[in-house]
Structure 1
């Protein structure tokens, strides 16, 4: 059972504008490099590593881009809710609704690598409560379900 909440899904240029606005509202600058990393990340159709993004940027810019620089920016993006880390894929995806803060449940296709997220605040609240009952202080539940997407299941 999902707990409904409203959020606007941003796409394409609208997503980059929403990301910039979110970053600037948090007091951070939206530099050309941050914009380039975000655009590259948003251009992937499955979780991308810092190395994937650095390679894509390097090809587009005609120069080597250090993965360490990309990692720092991705960490900043995760902290600002512009990106989500998909732990089991060791990659990141752009958050298509950066103004909405909640725990995501990722559905990861073992065949094609696509990662889709769903929102179920009731489930993540139960995970947090179960952890708290043991005396553990949960910070961020990571819920990932591996399997096959609708396109690959046949």
Structure 2
């Protein structure tokens, strides 16, 4: 069944994230809020190291990437973030109330990543896996290539 997504941003996004995390039985702590704010501020997938650096600068104290990884894993499990497997990087989920399998379009030139929800495609992947006797936990489909912006950019010759 198709439905409309209403991507959230700003304070509404933070509130949606807090609500989703507490509904998952977890606490919305100051550190988790800081990490979510930083993650939501990136326009491309960010690594735990990128996030740790940004949070460290904002707080004026060192935040360890291991701590960030733990929180990001929690965010992924609560549907607040998506993991781009091939880049070992994360995107904040703009609609944490909707559960979908991921399809990512990853630009090999600029790193921009677009998240698509296409339930018929991901359902087909789950069905094919099931037909092969495989029980899926979380299918992630990544398509590598060139985004429209990079494709339209003039080629620079040295």
Determine if the TM-score, normalized by the shorter chain, exceeds 0.5: yes
- Report 1:64-83 matches (<5 A): 64-83=62-81
The CA distance in 2 between the partners of 1:82 and 1:29, in whole Å, is: 13
- The reply on whether 1:130 has 2:136 as its aligned counterpart is no
The CA distance in 2 between the partners of 1:46 and 1:78, in whole Å, is: 16
What's the offset of the Cα at 1:142?
Answer: 1.1
Partner of 1:45: 43
Q: Which moved more, 1:6-15 or 1:84-93?
A: 6-15
The CA distance in 2 between the partners of 1:25 and 1:140, in whole Å, is: 20
- Count of aligned positions: 152
Pairwise CA RMSD of aligned residues? 1.0
The CA distance in 2 between the partners of 1:13 and 1:41, in whole Å, is: 14
Partner of 2:155: none
Q: Secondary structure at the match of 1:152?
A: helix
Q: Secondary structure at the match of 2:151?
A: coil
Partner of 1:89: 87
What's the offset of the Cα at 1:4?
Answer: 2.6
The CA distance in 1 between the partners of 2:2 and 2:19, in whole Å, is: 25
- The reply on whether 1:116 has 2:114 as its aligned counterpart is yes
The CA distance in 1 between the partners of 2:111 and 2:26, in whole Å, is: 32
TM-score of the aligned structures, taking structure 1 as reference length = 0.95
What's the offset of the Cα at 1:144?
Answer: 0.5
Q: Which has the higher contact order (CA 8 A, sep 6+)?
A: 1
The CA distance in 2 between the partners of 1:45 and 1:89, in whole Å, is: 15
Partner of 2:52: 54
For structure 2, list consecutive stretches of 5 or more residues without a partner in the other structure.
153-158
> Deviations for 1:30-62, whole angstroms, at most 9, x for unmatched residues?
000000000010011111111110000111111
> Deviations for 1:111-130, whole angstroms, at most 9, x for unmatched residues?
11111111110000000000
What's the offset of the Cα at 1:8?
Answer: 2.1
Larger radius of gyration: 2
4+ aligned runs moved over 4 Å, structure 1: none
